[in-house]
Chains A and B, each alone.
Chain A
Amino acid sequence: MGTVTAQGLSKSFGKVQALDGVTLDVPDGAFFVVLGPSGAGKTTTLRAIAGLTKLDAGSVHLDGRDATGDAPADRDLAMVFQNYALYPRHTAYENIASPLRARGRPASEIAAAVDRISGLLHIERLLQRRPAQLSGGEMQRVALARALVRSPRAFLMDEPLTNLDLKLRVEMRTELTRIHRSLGATFVYVTNDQVEALSMADQIAVLKAGRVQQVGTPAEVYERPANQWVAGFVGSPPISLLACRAEGDRLIGAAGWSLPRPGWTTAEDGRPLLLGLRSEDLSVEQRGDAALPGELYGLEPLGDRTVVDVRVGTDLLKVKARPTISGTPGERLLVTVDLDRAHLFDASTGQSLSAATR
């Protein structure tokens, strides 16, 4: 068992409201990612669950039992810190053994457990070294091993891959997913990297300024963002947003363009809207009924694809195109829009106006 339920977590540091009623429900065995920009309250949420931060309001239930006032040691959780927090005077072995020693396990059991976990993470040859003698990637593995050496109720991970270089980060993503699958344990994983979130999570909670914006599977968060902010934060290149309003069966853009009104939206006529278009739902190579006239602004070749920047009025559209595309800035072109996959947001509240059933 390993369910984590956070109910209405609130915490302020001086004048800064770090958490403002954060509610999360992490099911047993989930890879649950808390995603948000820096300062969103992700780490505070994790520390509150771990018992390292005293809450102003709210409760934490572990396996259904109220653990809000419990000491960290009594919560049966393991945590991987962003800076690893390996004890500098202790060897890797001692670091990994620490959770078992703290709980007074016999030496033979500790040796066996450290052996098993260092095999799993391929760090056997590092065990006698001190943290200062380890590279960043090695420290990361030792920190992970210190968490994994026990079978706690849940694992808390605070941006564990942030300090690694890109290649190692991609490797460790796969490795962590593999470990999660083989353990079947609950992971609460904090990150500001939406790629990590989309690629690893069973469920994502998107956090902004101490409030949960949306909770859902990676597909739900990407395909049906709850509001304009989530749409902009998740996805790369970022979603393009165009100001417009509905009029009859048309969407009229502030820049003068006009598109057929999608059947799925319920927005009344005249209300200021934002049309959200992801780069892969736009094309400068295909022809279709729904198209926006614009001019070429620039090309960003990314190897496997090229992102074409198209200026429509004063807005910039990011359009995904094949890598061999070419063009000269200023050139007139038509951007075909897949309206079935477009998003509409209320321009004043930012809330999604796309029907949930779509």
Chain B
Amino acid sequence: MAVSVNEAVPASPVRDRTPPARRIGGGGRGRSVLEIALLTVLAVVMLFPVLWMIETSIKENRDVYAVPAKFVDFQVTLAHYRDVFVDPGGGRSALSVAFLNSVLVAGVSTVLATLLGVPAAWAYSRFALKAKKDQLFFILSTRFMPPVVVVIPIFLMYRQVGLIDTPLGLILIYTAFNLPFTIWMIKGFVDEVPAEYEDAAMLDGYTRLQAFRKFTLPLLVPGIAATAVFALIFSWNEFVFAIFLTSSDDVRTAPPAIAGLIGGTTVDWGLVAASSVVFALPVLVFAYLVRRHLVAGVTLGAVRR
């Protein structure tokens, strides 16, 4: 369904239909050929690394190093994928542990950021607070600097309280980093839901929280889903905190674990490629599942009521 949440409020007819693409000059056909050509070039440039990664992940090691490079005529193998999950000596591989750590850390931090962010966003949207704009600016300002700027002080603090090299440490820092984004993003969605629904519900006999839960929250689900996916992608891909704050294979998440494969005397590029593919898949699947809400979330404010 569409993201219009104020369906009951009579307003000017919704104008969210984009006008048909304008064609300049009479040469409609020529232009579309040009468009297709340019888009093809762009797609090749963008997708070639991905394609090469997938190819490398299913090549025999000798084909990986073949000169000239083999595009099609190589031996297909799934050995690298097996190595991602199974240790050569038997048992679970270090990489698979890293993947499980990533699932745990990204999942829990996303759930926490959402659970904390939704009520905060609702409160910032609905209530008159002292210095509300300043508070919101302060919340956002924690995202102004890149993680690498704060990683040293956080490392020192974590060492003091014993959070170094623990999943909880990563969960907390990812939650803290995702929370401003979650609050701002969901506040935008709450702003779009007329407060009158809650007013009406309160006069019907519900408490304020019941009114929010029964009437506003269901309308926010698409927005919350979109926001959660963004938070999940951030936590899943995060590298700097992960590499500074964890060291043991038991705690390390996938990004530093994959990076750790590169270096040393020989690099098993097939394994690097296979683990990268496995690493990229969950995000792709999630983004695909919520793609419509993602677009709605990203273009929020572009569509007027």
Q: Please list the residues of chain A having a beta carbon within 8 angstroms of any beta carbon in chain B.
A: 13, 47, 50-52, 71-73, 77-79, 81, 83-89, 98-99, 101-103, 130-132, 136, 139, 146, 163
Contact = CB atoms under 8 A, between A and B. Distances in A.
B8 A131 contact: yes
Given A52-B202, A88-B219, A102-B201, A71 B8 contact: no
A50 B203 contact: yes
A262 B190 CA distance: 61
Interface of B: 5-10, 128, 194, 196-197, 199-208, 210, 215, 218-219
A98 B204 contact: yes
A72 B219 contact: no
B215 A87 contact: yes
Given A13-B128, A85-B197, 17 more contacts: A50-B199, A51-B202, A52-B202, A72-B199, A73-B205, A78-B203, A83-B8, A87-B8, A88-B6, A88-B7, A98-B201, A98-B204, A102-B205, A102-B210, A103-B205, A132-B8, A136-B10
* The 5 residue pairs across chains A and B that have the minimum distance between CB atoms: A102-B205, A131-B8, A85-B196, A88-B7, A86-B8
Contacts of A136: 10
A73 B8 contact: no
A77 B196 CA distance: 15
Contact of A85 (B8, B208, B219): B8
Contacts of B7: 88, 130-132
Contacts of B200: 79, 81, 85-87, 98, 146
Given A71-B207, A103-B205, A88 B199 contact: no
A89 B201 CA distance: 13
27 contacts: A47-B199, A50-B199, A50-B203, A52-B199, A52-B203, A71-B202, A72-B203, A73-B202, A73-B204, A73-B206, A73-B207, A77-B203, A83-B10, A84-B8, A85-B196, A85-B197, A86-B8, A87-B8, A87-B197, A87-B200, A87-B215, A88-B7, A89-B218, A99-B203, A102-B204, A130-B7, A146-B200
B218 A139 contact: no
Contacts of B197: 85, 87-88
A203 to B, nearest CB: 23
B206 A85 contact: no
Contacts of A86: 8, 200
Nearest to A84: B8
Contacts of A139: 8, 10
Point out which of A85, A101, A136 has the most chain B C-beta atoms below 10 A from its C-beta: A85
Contacts of B203: 50, 52, 72-73, 77-79, 99
Nearest to A77: B203
A47 B203 CA distance: 11
Nearest to B202: A72
Contacts of B10: 83-84, 136, 139, 163
Contact of A81 (B196, B205, B207, B218): B196
Given A52-B199, A79-B200, A83-B196, A88 B205 contact: no
A136 B199 CA distance: 20
Contacts of A130: 7
A89 B207 contact: no
Nearest to B6: A88
A78 B219 CA distance: 24
Contacts of B208: 71
